[in-house]
């Protein structure tokens, strides 16, 4: 099975890849309301991601979800710098895993879970 991670593109991010080969890889979701890139992930790299981030999951499409926002931010930076959607961008992100985990720990402080009354 092929795996991928969706990188959402706001206007600022889209401007950073505009005019490059990556622009041809942009896909649209929700009737064209959202732009995204799908970064391919090998079986080996999928296992590393799942091992490093206990919240990460695989959905029915084969998309890796529930990774920290810091992971997704760094993934976009790697894509924009390397101008590719290949495995080297995932490897670049995993090379910074300690820094990402530190930032992810702060995310939970800033983004508390909502109170849900049962």
pLDDT tens-digit readout, 15-67 = 999 999 999 999 998 887 899 999 999 999 999 999 999 999 999 999 999 99
114: alpha, beta or left? (left if phi > 0; alpha if psi -120 to 50): beta
Question: Do 55 and 13 contact (CB within 8 A), yes or no?
Answer: no
Domain boundaries, the chain: 3-110
The model's pLDDT over 60-107, given as tens digits with 9 standing for 90+, comes to 999 999 999 999 999 999 999 999 998 899 999 999 999 999 988 887
Count of beta carbons in the 10 Å neighbourhood of residue 92: 16
Q: Which of left, alpha, beta for 62 (phi over 0: left; psi -120 to 50: alpha)?
A: left
Q: Which residues are within 8 A (CB) of 76 and not within 5 positions of it... i.e. 6 or more apart?
A: 7, 13
Q: pTM of the full predicted structure?
A: 0.85
Whole-number pLDDT of residue 112: 63
């Amino acid at each position: 099975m092929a795996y991928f991670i969706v990188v959402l593109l706001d206007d600022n991010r889209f401007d950073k890849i505009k005019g490059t080969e990556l622009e041809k890889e942009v896909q649209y979701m929700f009737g064209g309301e959202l732009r995204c890139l799908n970064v391919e992930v090998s079986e080996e790299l999928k296992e590393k991601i799942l091992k490093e981030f206990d919240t990460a999951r695989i959905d029915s499409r084969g998309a890796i979800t529930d990774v920290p926002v810091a992971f997704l931010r760094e993934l976009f930076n790697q894509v924009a710098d390397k101008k590719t959607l290949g495995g080297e961008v995932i490897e670049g992100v995993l090379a910074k895993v300690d820094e990402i985990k530190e930032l992810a720990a702060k995310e939970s402080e800033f983004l508390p879970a909502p109170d849900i009354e049962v």
